[in-house]
Amino acid sequence: MSAIELAKGIFWVGVNDRETDLFESVWPLPQGVSYNSYLIVDEKVALIDTVKGPFALELVRNIEEVLDPGKLDYLVVNHMEPDHSGALPLIRRLAPNLKILGTEKARGLLKALYGIEEGFEPVWDGQKLSLGRHSLIFYETPFVHWPETMMTYLPEEKILFSGDAFGGFGALDGGLFDYELDLARYEPESLRYFSNIVGMYTNPTQRAIQRLKGLEIRTIAPSHGPVWRKDPSRIVGLYDRWSRMEGEPGVVLIYGSMYGDTELLAERVARGVIAKGAPLRVMDASRTHPSFLLAETWRYKALILGAPTYDGGVFVPIEQFLRLAQRKRLQHRLVGLFGSFGWSGGAVKAMRSIIEELKWELVGPVVEFNGRPTEAELEQGAALGRAVAERVLKGSE
C-alpha cells in the first residue's frame, strides 16, 4: 500500500508482507502481516520504526511519496526487533543527518545487530521532543516485547505509537483503520499474535496498560495490523483481558489420534460439552499449528486434552502444544484429560505431569482406555465433557 495520511502531516508509510510464510521462522502467516512505519512531517521530520529488511525499498518509496528521505531528522526506534529495524541501515545511509532515538537499552542492540554506534541518542522515560507543531513523548515499556521497548505519544493529535503492543497478524486489506476493516478477521489474528509473541510478557503488558491510564488516547497506531481510531479502547480492552489470562467461558477440545481411537472418544466428549450449552471449539493437534491451539486456549477458560500413548509417553503433537503453553506461561486454566494406550500406557501420566507443572486445575473424571473405547468408556467421555462445561459456565455466573 502507498502512504496514507493519519492526520495532517502524519503518514503511515509501512508495508504489507504477504510473502513470509513463518513470522520469526516459527509462526504461520495465513493472512500475512504488516510492518507499520509512521512519518511525521514538521519543522523536523521523524520516522517512527521501519520495516523488515527485505521490504526496505518499499518503505523508501512510500516515504518518497511524501518527501525526500534525505530530509529525515529523527528515527524513533520503539523496538529493535528486525521486523521493525531491518530497514534502519538503509534509511541511515539515505539520511545523512539522521539521529536515532531509543531507550538506553536499544543502544546495545543497535550495535549488536547493525554495528551502529554513531548517531544514537538515548531518550528517557517521559522525555518530550518538539518537532515544531507536533511533539513526541517517550514512555519506556520494557518487555513488550523486548527489554528496550518503548512507546511514543504525540499529544497534539493524541496518537499513541505503541509498537508491538496492541498489534496483530494480518496484512492490511486495503484499509488502515479499524472502521475500514473486517475486525472479525483481525481479532483472532491479534489474539494469535498476542498469545504466541507477547504472551510470555503478560506482566509487562499489564504494567504498560496501567502506565497509559493517564493518557488521553484518540488513536492507537501499533507496529502491526490495524490502526485503532474508531474505538482504541477495544484493542486495549482485549490486550488487558488477554494479559490477565482470564479466559472466556468456553471450552477448547484439543486431541491427537493416529488410528481413530482417541478421536472416537473426543467426539463423545464434544457431545457432552454441547449438551451443557458451553461454547466449544474442537481442534486436531496433528493438523493445526500449535500457535492456533495456543490462541484458542488463551481465549477460553477451559481446555480438554486427549491423546494416545506413543513410545511410552504422550503423542508428540500434544506434547509440543503443552510445552508451548508452558513456554508462554499460560496460567489459570481448567483442564479435562483423556487418553488411550495399547500395552504399557503413559499418555495420561505424561499429560498430568505437565499439567501439574503448569498448575492448571484438573476437572472431571480422567478417562483412560485401552485401544478402541467401549460404550461405557464413551459414556465416561461424555461425562467428562459435561463436567468441564458445567464448571466453566458456573464460574462465569
Ligand X SMILES: Cc1cc2nc3c(=O)[nH]c(=O)nc-3n(C[C@H](O)[C@H](O)[C@H](O)COP(=O)(O)O)c2cc1C
The residues binding ligand X (CB under 6 A) are 257-263, 308-312, 340-346, 371
Nearer to ligand X, 175 or 346 (CB): 346
Any alpha helices (H) in the chain, and if so which ranges?
56-66, 82-85, 88-94, 104-114, 183-193, 202-212, 232-244, 261-275, 290-299, 316-327, 347-358, 375-395
> Which residues, 6+ apart, have CB-to-CB distance to 393 below 8 Å?
249, 276, 277, 278
Total of chain residues touching Fe ion, rule CB under 5 A: 4
> Which residues, 6+ apart, have CB-to-CB distance to 383 below 8 Å?
272, 364, 365
Closest approach, Cβ 319 to ligand X, in A, equals 13
Closest approach, Cβ 390 to ligand X, in A, equals 26
Nearer to ligand X, 162 or 257 (CB): 257
Contact mark string toward Fe ion, 340..369, x via CB under 5 A: ------------------------------
| Contact present, 159 and 153 (Cβ < 8 Å) | yes
Closest CA to 195 of 296, 288, 280, 300: 296
Residue 81 binding partner per list Fe ion, ligand X, none, with a CB distance cut-off of 5 to 8 Å that depends on partner kind: Fe ion
Residue 83 binding partner per list Fe ion, ligand X, none, with a CB distance cut-off of 5 to 8 Å that depends on partner kind: Fe ion
- What's the distance, CA 333 to chain centroid? 19
Q: How many residues does the chain have?
A: 397
Buried/exposed code over 310-345 (b: 16+ C-beta within 10 A; e: otherwise): beebbbebbbebbebbeebebeebbbbbbbbbeeeb
Residue 277 binding partner per list ligand X, Fe ion, none, with a CB distance cut-off of 5 to 8 Å that depends on partner kind: none
| Contact present, 334 and 302 (Cβ < 8 Å) | yes
Residue 145 binding partner per list Fe ion, ligand X, none, with a CB distance cut-off of 5 to 8 Å that depends on partner kind: Fe ion
DSSP three-state, residue 13: coil
Closest approach, Cβ 107 to Fe ion, in A, equals 18
Closest approach, Cβ 376 to ligand X, in A, equals 16
Closest approach, Cβ 144 to Fe ion, in A, equals 9
Residue 257 binding partner per list ligand X, Fe ion, none, with a CB distance cut-off of 5 to 8 Å that depends on partner kind: ligand X
Our finding on whether 148 is near Fe ion (CB under 5 A) is no
Closest approach, Cβ 249 to ligand X, in A, equals 29
Closest CA to 55 of 17, 1, 100: 17
Closest approach, Cβ 369 to ligand X, in A, equals 8
Nearer to ligand X, 264 or 362 (CB): 264
Our finding on whether 81 is near Fe ion (CB under 5 A) is yes
Residue 53 binding partner per list Fe ion, ligand X, none, with a CB distance cut-off of 5 to 8 Å that depends on partner kind: none
Residues that bind Fe ion (CB under 5 A): 81, 83, 145, 164
